[in-house]
Structure 1
Amino acid sequence: MRISVELRWFRRGRAPDDLTAWFRGTGGPFAWAAGGGRTRTDAYLAPPDPTLGIKRRSGGDGLELKGLVDALPRARGLGQTSAFPQVFAKWRSDTLGIDGQPTVEVTKTRWLRAFATLPEAREIRLGAGDSGEEPVGGEELPEIGCAVELTRVVVAAEEWWTFGVEAYAGERSGGSRIDLASRSLDSALRALAGDAALDLREAAFQGYAEWLATRDPRP
């Protein structure tokens, strides 16, 4: 099981050009161009539960389950907004399935960045693997780290975008994984601080499951 501490926002439409250019390029907190950029379609069990996401990843077997556990008591600032980080537990099942069940298909084109975060944030260059999201040069992702993403999302022919910061601590990290993931989040936020392009005030603070369960389907 993986524990993560996350901030995520959604907004209908196309991501602002300045946000996209800032996130995908170099400069500011970023030494490298973002990884990813590939498109995949995941199937989520329907009707969605706002606290539990159950999905079959594109091209994969089994299911990925991600449940909301709690929210941290102290808000964190990011760009020109702030929110209370959410704690999630994520696990995988190779025996459960959703064949024959109603699903919602979500098509994602994700641009991704990765950071080793303790004691200070250090960006890891991505771009390897079929997804373009693996580290370049054979470097491994850290046991304690943070992923930052900007993703174009299409569901029921509607275009959205999401910006997410997902800090984590692996099973071998030792100590309280929630505490370590919280410190990891703070380290990544310090690296991202002060960028004018990162304006999320018009976006809704939600996890994927809550967004799927509560999104307004009207134009």
Structure 2
Amino acid sequence: MELHFDLFALDALDAHAQEINCGMCRELAASTASKLERAAPVRGATAGEGDEIGIDPGNETPEQRNKFLVLRLYEALNARDHAAVQSLLAPDLEWWFHGPPKHQHMMRLLTGGGGSSGGFRFVPRSVDALVAPTPTTSTTVIAEGHEGRCYWVHAWTVGADGVITQLREYFNTDLTVTRLAAVAVAASAKCVWQSRRPDSATNSLPGLLLAL
């Protein structure tokens, strides 16, 4: 599997942006150091478990299907199931990263970089699928979580064909997501998602706006 990463790192310590190009990654590593686990809020959302959360799999909305697809990706990463990961990601996955460069844990996990990411776990505390403007439009699925002093947000883009085509990753950054209308953009920006950090009242982080 080949992945193309287009990375942008924003150092939260000195507020200077850095552009990082990773190039083409030949294949997922045979050995992945990071072990992921699912948190309670997202259990029961995998394929075949829809009944546990009161959803008929046959009557899922597109947003629910895309949410479950992203959850399956985290599970595949947790199980080190490289074949399943490859089946969910586009071969030319586009990657954007914002945050301190030392926190590029997901990139190292997928590319086999290992190193300091060995003990980091991506445990989504919430997963939200935003409603697509049209049935043929890509959907954005946002997952957020934290480990220790690290807070992260993943904004996955899922195509109409059910394949993940893009990941925007944010570390130690407060994210606000807005949707812009095609007409009268300035007057039509609507907030559709905001970071929900448990320590937001006591810990200040740089803020960033993602416009869809």
TM over 0.5: no
- Higher strand residue share: 1
More relative contact order, 1 or 2 (CA 8 Å, 6+ apart) = 1
- Higher helix residue share: 2
